[in-house]
Structure 1
Amino acid sequence: MIRGVRGATTVEKNDEQGIITATEKLLAKMIADNEIEPENVASVFISVTDDIDSVFPAKALRKFDGWTYVPVMCMKEIQVNGSLPYCIRIMLHLNTEKAQQDIQHAYLEKAIALRPDLKD
């Protein structure tokens, strides 16, 4: 079974180091909370809002041991009036036996507002 694990976070500005650090923190939480092994990951999609363009956030994934061959793609989030600025979103596709309700999605920083129903 393939399941999607969602995550999102925000940064304060369009800064390479800040974007990498925030993405790494979000990925670490998603991986730990769902006990994800890289060989079980089918793909990772990372989207950013229009105000983020100083680095590909996927660069953060390569800092994790064993994730070298996991397919990852960065893209732009659609522009919606009033949407959350400086936002990084992740959709990780995972082969797992976990039930849908047992997947732990992660929302950090100002991105908590995107899914208040999933707060810890």
Structure 2
Amino acid sequence: MSMISIRGAITTDHNSKTEILQATKEMIEAIIDSNNLQIDQIIQILFSTTKDLDEVYPAVAAREMGLTAAALMCFQEMYVKGSLEKCIRVSILADAEGLNTHNVKHQYLRRAKCLRVDLMK
């Protein structure tokens, strides 16, 4: 078993159930596709949202995508004055043979690209 943690983040324009679920799915799909993962390789997903996103748990989107065996938890991101708003962050723990810290492809989408400018080169 080869464990890897994959990070990602995405923003929404509004605090709505539809937008939160759609953005979460987009982010998870981008992580799965860019890292050639299968859903059954995902062991755990930790989600955090900024305090201005409170209409739905992002984990609902993961369950709708078929992630029914993975452990999912949602948290509120620590508030920092002036920080990025309406942001969903994720940390995915996966059993991903062939991936390591040097070739994993983290996904920072939409306005969340500013969180990891080093990855956007």
After TM superposition, the score normalised by the length of structure 1 is 0.93
Question: Which amino acid in structure 1 is aligned with residue 60 of structure 2?
Answer: K
CA displacement, residues 2-53 of structure 1 (integer Å, 9 cap, x when unaligned): 2110000000111110010011001000011111122222210000000010
Partner residue, 1:70: 70
Partner residue, 1:48: 49
Partner residue, 1:80: 80
Counterpart Cα distance in 1 of 2:14 and 2:38: 31
1:99, CA displacement in angstroms? Answer: 2.0
Q: What value does the CA root-mean-square deviation take over the aligned residues?
A: 1.1
1:117, CA displacement in angstroms? Answer: 1.1
Partner residue, 1:111: 112
Q: Is the contact made by 2:9 and 2:90 (CA closer than 8 Å) also made in structure 1?
A: yes
Q: Is the contact made by 2:43 and 2:69 (CA closer than 8 Å) also made in structure 1?
A: no
Q: Unpaired runs of 5+ in structure 2? A: none
Segments of 4+ moved more than 4 angstroms: none
Partner SS for 2:63 = helix
Aligned-residue identity in percent: 33
Total equivalences in the alignment: 119
Counterpart Cα distance in 2 of 1:103 and 1:19: 25
Counterpart Cα distance in 2 of 1:36 and 1:72: 17
